[in-house]
Amino acid sequence: MMKKHQNRILILGVSLLLGGIFLTNCAPQEQRSPEEIAAIQRAKRDSIRKANYNRCLFKMSNADQYKIQENWPAAIRNYKDVIELGCVEDFADPLFKDLAHCYFRNNQPDSAAWAIEEGLIYKPTDLHLLKLMAYYNRNNLDKTIEAWTRINNLYPGNTEYMFELADLYFKAGHYDEQIALLEEILQIEPDNKKAELSIIAAYEAKGVDPIELYAKNFETDKSNPQYAYQYAQRLIDSNNYVKAVTVLEEALKYNASNKSLIEMLAESYVNTGQQDKAVLVYEDLAQKNPTDNELLIKISSLYREMGQYQKALQFADRAVKIPPHNGKAMAERGEVYLAIAQANTVSLNLNDKLVYHMAYEDFKEALKQGNNNVRSKINFLESNELIITGQRDYFLATDANKVGPNEFRPVGEGYAWITRTVKVQ
């Protein structure tokens, strides 16, 4: 009797245990935490993926073959099978890019755009996908702006991408957003002409004269180099160099070492007939930038135009020794020698021809360095017989002209300071 009673108790205990387990497994989903639910769902997806992986691999291979054959419907069908089989995470790249391509070639642009949007769920920072989003939505301005905004957020400071977005803002009439973005570009690249012109276009599209705004900004904060640059550049663009000089002189009180503002001031001095001031500005800048041969060329050119040939030649000589050796500096030195000869020639003689020949040698070297602009100078000197061609040109040389065998230097008023010589064959 006791044994029978014990058996009943054992059976009851086992029943209660099994019942508890059953009730636990059958607990309503709402009793589980979101984390538990997500974990169960993820486990199910992973299980399906693993089970279907080989089938998906086969479908992807089929789809790729159909794509090569340009059988777009068959390729699309196989790519969609991969999605339905739950293998998206394994094949997200290139699944959605290729699916979008097939939809597009099958004249289904909206479906192509959808495929890219789906791909971005799995690859939200994929640059190629984001560019494809912009491409496949190019008739949807809002979506295109969204794509380029996301790209700019991923790659801050990339001016190429910033211009893409700025152009879209202009098309959409979002001028304030465009201007703000273009001003960011100018903070990165202060001399970017495209950004400057685009800002002007945006203000004009808004019905605002940008020069008024630039003037207001500058008067509000004269120490801001960007405000000064924008205002002065607009004044220069409108040929108001006199006002530009005033603005730049004031701005440089606060930004004395700003190279862009200094060069603009020198340019404005030149265009208001103040070459003497311009050359001093350039010389000061050249002292701070001794390897900038463009500056040295400008200084030489200004002194040459002012008739101060010795100073012009000093700076030209310095310029030809500094890279890049692209023929610009050599051409400038040739112009200096040409100007010296032309200023001193009354009745053409050997001394004149020796200096003309120095110009000729420099122009020939400039051409060799790649500067094709000097061809007309070379032709001019040759056609007018202003160069030394043989004994008939130097048989009247004086002892003062002779430096060595077949080597001569110019002498006389206007040439005595020149130390260069000419060797003839």
Backbone angles phi, psi at 402, to 5 degrees: -80, 125
**What is residue 213's predicted lDDT score, i.e. its pLDDT?**
82
Convert 117-151 to b/e letters by CB count within 10 Å (16 or more is b): bbbbeeeeebeebbbbbbebbeeeeebbbbbbbbb
Q: Are 100 and 130 in contact (CB under 8 A)?
A: no
> Is the pLDDT at 40 greater than 60, yes or no?
no
Query: pLDDT tens digits for 214-244?
Result: 898 899 999 999 899 989 999 999 999 999 9
Domains and CATH numbers, the chain: 47-154 (1.25.40.10), 326-425 (no CATH)
Q: Which residues contact 344 (CB under 8 A, 6 or more apart)?
A: 351, 352, 355, 413, 414, 415
> Is the pLDDT at 39 greater than 60, yes or no?
no
> Is the pLDDT at 418 greater than 50, yes or no?
yes
Widest CA span of the chain, in angstroms? 153
* Angle value at C-alpha 16, between 11 and 22, nearest 5 degrees: 125
Q: Are 409 and 420 in contact (CB under 8 A)?
A: yes
Q: How far is CA 102 from CA 121, 152, 340, 355, in A?
A: 19, 28, 71, 72
pLDDT band for position 295 (cuts 50, 70, 90):
very high
What pTM value is reported for the model?
Answer: 0.60
d(CA 49, CA 38): 16
d(CA 49, CA 274): 79
Backbone angles phi, psi at 408, to 5 degrees: -135, 155
Nearest of 350, 346, 339 to residue 399 by alpha carbon: 350
* DSSP 8-class letter at 155: S
d(CA 154, CA 167): 19
Nearest of 419, 331, 421, 345 to residue 384 by alpha carbon: 345
Query: pLDDT tens digits for 347-401?
Result: 999 999 999 999 999 999 999 999 999 999 999 999 999 999 877 887 888 999 9
* DSSP 8-class letter at 422: E
Nearest of 27, 23, 53 to residue 40 by alpha carbon: 27
Q: Which two tokens stand for residue 422?
A: 């000419």
**What is residue 50's predicted lDDT score, i.e. its pLDDT?**
60
Q: What is the 3-state secondary structure (H, E, C) of 53-69?
A: HHHHHHHHHHHHHHHHC
Backbone angles phi, psi at 317, to 5 degrees: -60, -40
pLDDT band for position 32 (cuts 50, 70, 90):
low
Mean pLDDT, the chain, integer: 87
Q: Which long-range contacts (CB under 8 A, 24 or more apart) does 378-383 make?
A: 381/338, 381/356
Query: pLDDT tens digits for 253-292?
Result: 999 999 999 999 999 999 999 999 999 999 999 999 999 9
- Residue identified by tokens 């020069």 is 211
Please report, in angstroms and rounded to a whole number, the separation of the first and last CA atoms in the chain: 141
- Which ranges of 85-207 would DSSP assign to H, the alpha helix? 88-105, 109-122, 127-136, 141-154, 159-172, 175-188, 193-206
* DSSP 8-class letter at 404: E
